[in-house]
Structure 1
Amino acid sequence: MAVERTERFVTTNGVRMHLAEQGEGHPVIFCHGFPHTGYIWHRQMASVAAAGYRALAPDLRGYGKTSAPSDVDAYANREVIGDLLGLLDDIGAQDAVFVGVDFGAALVWELTLRAPERVTGAIVLNNPFVPRAPRLPSQLWAKAAQRHFLHLDYFQRPGVADAELAADPRDFLARVYYALSGDYHYLDTWSYPAEGTGYLDVLPTAPELPWSWLSEGELDVLAGEFERTGFTGGLNWYRAIDRNWELTADYADAVVTAPTYFLYGERDTDMEGFSGHDPLATLRANVPGLRAVNSIPEAGHLVHLERTEAVNALLLDHLADLTGAASR
């Protein structure tokens, strides 16, 4: 029997957060990335709720129907972690299992360091734990952008990518989702020069929908949100990366002791080009709480959409272990 999915707002840490909920039981909080909203998790929410858990997927600040502060510093992980802790307080829970991908993954990693007592366990997709950089990330990106186009550097310019991406949100989303998937090789975007190049110049034209892993209706939901809000809120997460670096000086040598599972698409671009020379070795060296690593064949960055059944099965197995409850 299907479990109804409901939506509401929570006032937390100075923002009005839009939240989708489904099911009852131990809370499982899903954290999305760019350019997504909490809706990106709707397939996982249904599976987790049916198995006897309380699935919660907020639109993180700057996205969807959640508040979008104007100050870039408001998008630092420390601030968003405050939102999530307020959400836990709202539902009367001491802790939850946190699931994250992309920026949501980085958020979950930092959450395990800042508030380990609120984390039952972590399930992280595609973005492995990476120690604090030796200098400001924007400086590293600017150096790389001297050699080739790099979206991380391009997104640092206020108003530039904002206008480009908002001109046709649906087209941009289709192109970037396809480019990040296992059906394309995202690092081909590095073959373009940075000077005079926009993001749409380097992204491939997307095939017509539906795809094997994304329906036209699902893209309509996501595009509808960004047509209304634009992309500045999401881009501000990139622009707050240096602030994250400044705020994590005390955690430069910290390791993740929370019980953790990591799964990734074998064709994921972050694992190939953005997480160091040997990301799995770095992960294992810095996450003593790591219980297992799972590779999903032929999948890319949106692994939970590209291989939904495989990811959902792993989620349920890992949740059962983390919460000490058998899936039902």
Structure 2
Amino acid sequence: MELTHRTIDTGEIRMHVADRGEGFPVVFCHGFPHTWFMWHRQLDAVAAAGYRALAPDLRGYGRTEAPANVEAYTNAAVIGDLMALLDDIGAEQAAFVGLDFGAQLVWELTLRAPERVAAAIVLNNPFAPRPPRAPSAFWTKAAERHFLHLSYFQTPGIADAELAADPRGFLARVYYSLSGDYHYLDTWKNPPGLGYLDVLPQASALPWSWLSEAEFDTLVQDFERTGFTGGLNWYRNLDRNWELTAAYADAKVEVPTFFLYGQNDPDMEGFSGRDPLATLRANVLDLREVVEVPAAGHLVQLERPDAVNAFLLDALKSLDLRA
């Protein structure tokens, strides 16, 4: 079950994939600012249980190509990359695991290509129906009152330069702020017009109880080489994703679905509506399990790997998947 690294041609880009184990494929989709390595503890556990665990660097990240065109980072385009990955390994279906932008990607995948999804296993970012207005209509108003990263990230070049100037410092501060060790929504106490590093808290010195210095160094190395523009371009397509999903405005998720969230996750608290679990249950027709992880934040797969791994393996076992 040695971890291997390879690159596939998706037809649009060359995508790096970390690949471990044999059996039914389980594909892990990361968020911002992450790489495939955010899932390394889950790859070990899932492969050891008899599955093929695959974690791509999604387009714009890590060792995967980063197109120069901002419009190249839509969910539809990245779903095309994931379908090419399944075709490359000769699989009709996979179980897809997602967090953050990876969660949004998995949700949209269940609508665009449900026949390729054996199960959706989502962490922290619940499904919600397509809103009646573009996302910017909501965040622009909020950003008039306080700092909001969704708005700050929209203009190409500004956040890119700020974050690339100190990748190590930014990553330490943003990972710490998103964890259960800090209340991320305190960043909203800052006025508009500031940079992201102006509003993020200082992180305590590494190692942390849930992240070693060596693991952090691995994450930093990729961003020191690539910068953050590829990941930021995902934010710059939020309205475009909304435009491209008009046909799914009233769609429900019908594939087998499992949802886990951290008790202190900022997306559940501040970005997912007033009652995210009720919305999830109303729109996901085959929702099989909902699990809360006490005291965990947004990076739950690192903060509480034992709980997340047990959740993943129980979900996969319940599906009785066959290679």
Q: Tell me whether 1:279 sits opposite 2:247 in the alignment.
A: no
Q: Tell me how far 1:140 sits from its aligned partner.
A: 1.4
Q: Tell me how far 1:157 sits from its aligned partner.
A: 1.1
SS at match of 2:223: helix
Q: 1:45 — aligned with what?
A: 43
Q: 1:92 — aligned with what?
A: 90
Q: Tell me whether 1:135 sits opposite 2:133 in the alignment.
A: yes
Cα separation, 1, equivalents of 2:257 and 2:11: 27
Q: Tell me how far 1:71 sits from its aligned partner.
A: 1.3
Q: Tell me how far 1:69 sits from its aligned partner.
A: 0.7
Q: 1:36 — aligned with what?
A: 34
SS at match of 2:307: helix
* Conserved 8 A contact 2:24-2:321: no
SS at match of 2:180: coil
* Conserved 8 A contact 2:18-2:56: yes
Give the total of aligned pairs.
322
* Conserved 8 A contact 2:60-2:67: yes
Q: 1:25 — aligned with what?
A: 23
Q: 2:61 — aligned with what?
A: 63
SS at match of 1:310: helix
Q: 1:215 — aligned with what?
A: 212
SS at match of 1:66: coil
Q: Tell me how far 1:58 sits from its aligned partner.
A: 0.2
* Conserved 8 A contact 1:120-1:323: no
Equivalences for residues 112-191 of structure 1 within 5 A: 112-191=110-189
For structure 2, the residue ranges without an aligned partner over 5 or more in a row are none
Q: Which of 220, 224, 228 pairs up with 1:227?
A: 224
Q: Tell me whether 1:295 sits opposite 2:279 in the alignment.
A: no
Cα separation, 1, equivalents of 2:11 and 2:216: 30
SS at match of 2:255: coil
- Give CA deviations for 1:244-300 in whole Å, capped at 9, x if unaligned: 000000000000000000000000000000000000000000001110100000000
* Conserved 8 A contact 1:175-1:203: yes
SS at match of 2:252: coil
Cα separation, 1, equivalents of 2:305 and 2:122: 15
Q: Tell me how far 1:160 sits from its aligned partner.
A: 0.4
- Give CA deviations for 1:101-126 in whole Å, capped at 9, x if unaligned: 00000000000000000000010000
SS at match of 1:144: helix
Q: Which of 99, 102, 109 pairs up with 2:100?
A: 102
Cα separation, 2, equivalents of 1:289 and 1:133: 22
* Conserved 8 A contact 1:24-1:49: yes
Task: Give identity over the alignment, percent.
Answer: 72
Q: Which amino acid aligns with 1:54?
A: R
* CA RMSD, 1 decimal: 0.7
Q: Which amino acid aligns with 2:318?
A: D
Cα separation, 2, equivalents of 1:115 and 1:151: 31
SS at match of 1:7: strand
For structure 1, the residue ranges without an aligned partner over 5 or more in a row are none
Q: Tell me how far 1:324 sits from its aligned partner.
A: 4.1
Q: Tell me how far 1:13 sits from its aligned partner.
A: 3.0
SS at match of 1:135: coil
Q: 2:264 — aligned with what?
A: 267
- Give CA deviations for 1:66-99 in whole Å, capped at 9, x if unaligned: 0101111111100000000000000000000000
SS at match of 1:178: helix
SS at match of 2:162: helix
Q: 1:77 — aligned with what?
A: 75
Q: Tell me whether 1:198 sits opposite 2:211 in the alignment.
A: no
Cα separation, 2, equivalents of 1:56 and 1:239: 27
Is 218-227 or 131-140 further displaced after alignment? Answer: 131-140
* Conserved 8 A contact 1:264-1:294: yes
Q: Tell me how far 1:322 sits from its aligned partner.
A: 2.2
TM-score (ref. length: structure 1): 0.97
Cα separation, 1, equivalents of 2:190 and 2:231: 24
Q: Tell me how far 1:316 sits from its aligned partner.
A: 0.4
* Conserved 8 A contact 1:18-1:66: yes
Q: Which amino acid aligns with 1:117?
A: E
Cα separation, 1, equivalents of 2:94 and 2:78: 16
SS at match of 1:122: strand
